[in-house]
Amino acid sequence: MSIVSKVFRECVQAMRDGKLIEREGKNDKEFHFQNWFKSRLEDIGENFDEPGRNTYPDFRMVKQTEGYELKGLAYPGREADYDCNSQVPCGEHNGREVYYVFGRYPKDPDGNRYPVLDLVICHGSFLNADNTYVHKNRSFRGFGSYGDILVRDRKMYVAPTPFALAEGTAHRRTLIVPEGTQVDDDMVEIAELTRREVEQMVVAYQFDLRTNEINTTLVPNPNAGRDHVFKIYRLEGDPVEPVSLVERSREKAQATLALDAQEEDYDD
């Protein structure tokens, strides 16, 4: 049985009790939210493998076949999407159910102790339903005037956050799980969301080193039109106003990606 509602409850209760994030200093830009969540797992007495820089998901539970991937976001700031580095979001990895923990915290706190402002724990399939894709980096040598420069194809993925996908999650504490997931009695169902798979999917891309243009190859999605149903919960005592899917979220995400690409070109 999943412990996700138990984990969610502990996080919400910690926020209610004012348990703060504690960073070691301003240079701690990565692990402060992760350490806060680690304390929540310790508080409920669940054993887990210690996270490492290249482990996925961050926290792999010992007794349960599930794991938790942490995504801390500064607020106000970027909230529509996030960088996945080398791992595409998914709902299952190496036989484990994967849950994503999104927490926002103040962008410019007045010290090294500050609150978690809002929280979403969602099953990875809410972000991406495909569990079959295996990420691999590739390279080739032969580029340049003398033919001895190595080119690395090191992919970066950018996925939408639940704050961008679901209206009503901002400034609240929300649990999103697939239909049929067993949760504890103090979880109050407030909505049901359905995500539908697209008609076509990208299976390849080509990059022209002369023009810096990239072209994708699309094929029919074998699961086109398939609905994935998710239940939305809040802990008893929290506000229960409904949550809904954001209209045109895909188009908005594409517009954000285009803006990000322009910024990257400018930075380079």
Question: Tens digits of per-residue pLDDT, 59-103?
Answer: 999 999 999 999 999 999 988 999 988 789 999 999 999 999 999
Whole-number pLDDT of residue 23: 87
Residue that has been written with the tokens 């704050």 in this structure: 163
Whole-number pLDDT of residue 188: 97
Residue spans per domain, the chain: 4-129+156-267
User: Is the Cβ–Cβ distance between 23 and 32 less than 8 Å?
Assistant: yes
Whole-number pLDDT of residue 266: 36
State the average pLDDT over residues 203-232: 94
Paired tokens of 47: 């054993």
pTM for the model: 0.89
DSSP of 177-232, one letter per residue? Answer: EETT----TTEEEEEEEEEE--SEEEEEEEEETTTTEEEEEEEE-TTTT-EEEEEE
Question: Tens digits of per-residue pLDDT, 10-39?
Answer: 999 999 999 999 988 766 667 899 999 999
Whole-number pLDDT of residue 249: 54
Whole-number pLDDT of residue 233: 98
Q: Indicate whether 267 pLDDT > 50.
A: no
Whole-number pLDDT of residue 24: 82
